[in-house]
Amino acid sequence: MASDDPRTLVSTEWLAAHLNDPDLRILDASWHMPDSDRDSHTEYTEGHIPGARFFDIDEISDQRSALPHMAPPVEKFISRMRAMGIGDGHQVVVYDSLGMFSAPRVWWTFKLMGKLDIAVLDGGLPKWKAEGRALEDLPPMVRDRHMTVQRQAHLIKDVSQVASASKLGDWQILDARSAERFRGEVEEPRPGLRSGHIPGSLNLNYRDVLNPDATMKDEAALREAFEKAGVDLSKPVITTCGSGVTACILSLALERLGHHKHAVYDGSWTEWGMYPDLKVEKG
């Protein structure tokens, strides 16, 4: 089991022990692919970890963009967090209903906003439920709390920066999609996208940094997974995936290894695969 760290990852045991801390805030950041036939908010209302607020990844985003759930503007993030009663001085724990899928995206979003006291719940809601821990279906009592934000621009990359990295090789580009999608052997789940990967990029499926119960692997196993994928852990990394969600799992894993020079390509393959003038590799 990975060790507890309130800035990266905490266990269900840690959360249970701190559940009644006055400055703890819990977020349910469950999100599912559009074709999954699941409604995250409905599932949240039916049962969630006591005190959890629902973080809507699609709504708390930059909706001026045609791309899905792009990082929110600072002002929108502050507004939504204050309305949820989350602010300065709070320790935040975020989880999702798949164990380790969308929660790291919210962890990264908080880091992007300069908020460091946030951790992902290791194993998420499935592990919490499997251990017979308490759930509730009541909305939490919310009190407005001031929040100070300082956006960390170095944690995010746009398409031009990724294209430069692809050409120059000064940043490693690491794709969290499955090997079949990376190699271009299957169609993309989002219609209209080309198949393949960013030229020069490496592939490490996000599942390969997780245990079968969706907890994160320990440090030795994480290091082995990255090195097996060809990643040089002494050099900077841009993580990417289908739409910027599972890329954040790799970013969380890098942070667990003490590798702090990493950034997320927010548009990911949804953006890159859309434009015919951007080169694509297969195989």
If asked whether residues 102 and 162 sit together in one domain, one would say no
* Tens-binned pLDDT, residue by residue, of the chain (283 aa): 568 999 999 999 999 999 999 999 999 999 998 778 899 999 999 999 999 999 999 999 999 999 999 999 999 999 999 999 999 999 999 999 999 999 999 999 999 999 999 999 999 999 999 999 999 999 898 988 899 999 999 999 999 999 999 999 999 999 999 999 999 999 998 888 999 999 999 999 999 999 999 999 999 999 999 999 999 999 999 999 999 999 999 999 999 999 999 999 999 999 999 999 999 999 9
Q: Which of 151, 180, 202 is the last residue of a domain?
A: 151
**CATH number for position 73:** 3.40.250.10
Output the pTM of the full model: 0.97
If asked whether residues 39 and 170 sit together in one domain, one would say no
Scan for tokens 């709504």, then name that residue: 59
If asked whether residues 162 and 138 sit together in one domain, one would say no
If asked whether residues 52 and 106 sit together in one domain, one would say yes
If asked whether residues 216 and 229 sit together in one domain, one would say yes
| pLDDT of 234 | 97
If asked whether residues 55 and 92 sit together in one domain, one would say yes
Answer whether residue 112 is part of any domain: yes
If asked whether residues 158 and 245 sit together in one domain, one would say yes
Residues in the chain: 283
| pLDDT of 10 | 98
Three-state secondary structure readout of the chain? CCCCECCCEECHHHHHHHCCCCCEEEEECCCCCHHHCCCHHHHHHHCECCCCEECCCCCCCCCCCCCCCCCCCHHHHHHHHHHCCCCCCCEEEEECCCCCCCHHHHHHHHHHCCCCCEEEECCHHHHHHHCCCCCECCCCCCCCCCCCCCCCHHHEECHHHHHHHHHHCCCEEEECCCHHHHHCCCCCCCCCCCCCECCCCEECCHHHHECCCCCECCHHHHHHHHHHCCCCCCCCEEEECCCCCCHHHHHHHHHHCCCCCEEEECCHHHHHCCCCCCCCECC
If asked whether residues 146 and 158 sit together in one domain, one would say no
| pLDDT of 1 | 56
- Count of structural domains within the chain: 2
Do 241 and 177 meet the contact criterion of CB atoms below 8 Å apart?
Answer: yes
Q: Which of 104, 131, 151 is the last residue of a domain?
A: 151
Q: Which residues form the domain of 188?
A: 154-272
Q: Which of 151, 169, 185 is the last residue of a domain?
A: 151
Task: Give the type of residue at 106.
Answer: V
Answer whether residue 283 is part of any domain: no
Catalytic residues, by residue number, are 241
